[in-house]
Chains A and B, each alone.
Chain A
Amino acid sequence: MNKENENIENEELMKMAPTLFGMTKVNNLKAPKGYFSNLADTVKARIDNEVPDGYFENLADKVIDKIEKEKTKVIPIPKRNIARIIPVAASIAAIFIIGFLLNQNNIVDTIASDDNYLENLTNSELDEAMHYNEMDDLICYIDFEEDFEEGFNEALQIENSINDIDLDFTSDEIDEYLSSDYYLDVEY
């Protein structure tokens, strides 16, 4: 502001507010000692630690993008590896097949030996076995053998009796039977 303008404004102030004009211009407010010497550092530290503008606006999109990328991530398998895996896999498969076949033979042998097991036992051996822990297993084995034989004979008899039935029905007889509701009372 030039001197002339300042004088004009001072004159105006003197006319408008003589009390104010007569007062000395003193700053009654005080700033703490050393405040201004640290302010630049304080402001810089605040700027450096501040979250960048728009960070939270884009955060959700960034996270979703990242998740999508993780989902569609393809792990490439080199072709050379497949060539190496094939003979190894074939060898393992061959070992399993051979092992399985050998094991089958053992099972057959075991079954065969089990069939002869009871026949080869002497009476004294059976008596002895009754007193040992394997007694329960043995009894189960015997029960199973007996049940099987009994059941097999029963099934044979039923089959024979069915074969003996005269199945020569006329179509009228069959219709009459089906419409009579008798078959509903048959117990199976």
Chain B
Amino acid sequence: MQLSDEEIVAQIKSGKDSNQAFRALIEKYQERLYWHIRRMIIDHDDTDDVLQNVFVKTWKGLANFREDSNLYTWLYRIATNESITFINKKKKENNISIDDESYHLHAGQADYLMGCDEIQEKLEKALLTLPEKQRAVFHMKYYENMKYTQMSEVVGTSVGALKASYHIAVKKIEHYLIEN
């Protein structure tokens, strides 16, 4: 039987069976967080590094987790921040402006598109033209059907700003699909 978020947090904080509870947490959220990070970072190895960092930070921070937000959004927030930090660091290392939106294409990380059908390849390339944060917003809404209120907690932006960001992302993608 899968433990609830509350049970996981309570067990880890109490120190009793904390290893088991932490394992349950990882197994419960690893795939969703992986794809959330992977959508932003694209490369699997980099995603793996960032995802591990997310869980290490989660383990260290759980003692101070106040539970005024739910575990799910807290984990997404850590994952989003870690991903953005990683991307900015990578850009700095490669002397690419942090505002450069087409970083992944320039970095030659579009190999994963091989094997996609033509229309899917176009969609993926369209997604790569979005800034990382906007791509994360698009992913959370379009692929994960997340509520704007939840997304607001994850990204730390108002619901209105998120709606606007999503609409802009959708229009950019549509434009790219039509033009190409």
Contact = CB atoms under 8 A, between A and B. Distances in A.
Interface of A: 1, 6, 13, 16-20, 23, 25-32, 35-36, 39-40, 42-44, 46-47, 50, 53
Contacts of B27: 40
B44 interface: yes
A17 to B, nearest CB: 4
Interface string B10-42: 000000000100110011001100110011001
Given A36-B31, A43-B26, A43-B55, A23 B119 contact: yes
7 contacts: A18-B174, A20-B174, A20-B177, A23-B119, A27-B35, A29-B112, A44-B22
A97 to B, nearest CB: 72
A44 B123 CA distance: 37
Grouping DSSP codes into helix (H, G, I), strand (E, B) and loop, the B interface class, with mixed when no group exceeds half, is helix
Contact of B30 (A16, A36, A50): A36
Given A1-B147, A46-B52, A32 B23 contact: no
Contact of B145 (A1, A19, A42, A47): A1
A29 B116 CA distance: 10
Nearest to B141: A9
A18 B173 CA distance: 11
A119 B51 CA distance: 108
A53 B171 CA distance: 45
Interface in B61-118: 112-113, 116
Interface residues of B, number: 40
Contacts, number: 76
Interface of B: 19, 22-23, 26-27, 30-31, 34-35, 38-39, 42, 44, 48, 51-52, 55-56, 59-60, 112-113, 116, 119-121, 123-124, 142-143, 145-147, 167, 170-171, 173-174, 177-178
A6 B148 CA distance: 12
Contacts of A26: 120
A28 B113 contact: yes
Interface centre among A6, A18, A19, A53, by most chain B C-beta atoms within 10 angstroms, is A19
Given A1-B145, A16-B170, A16-B174, A28 B26 contact: no
Contacts of B51: 39
A40 B56 contact: no
B44 A31 contact: yes
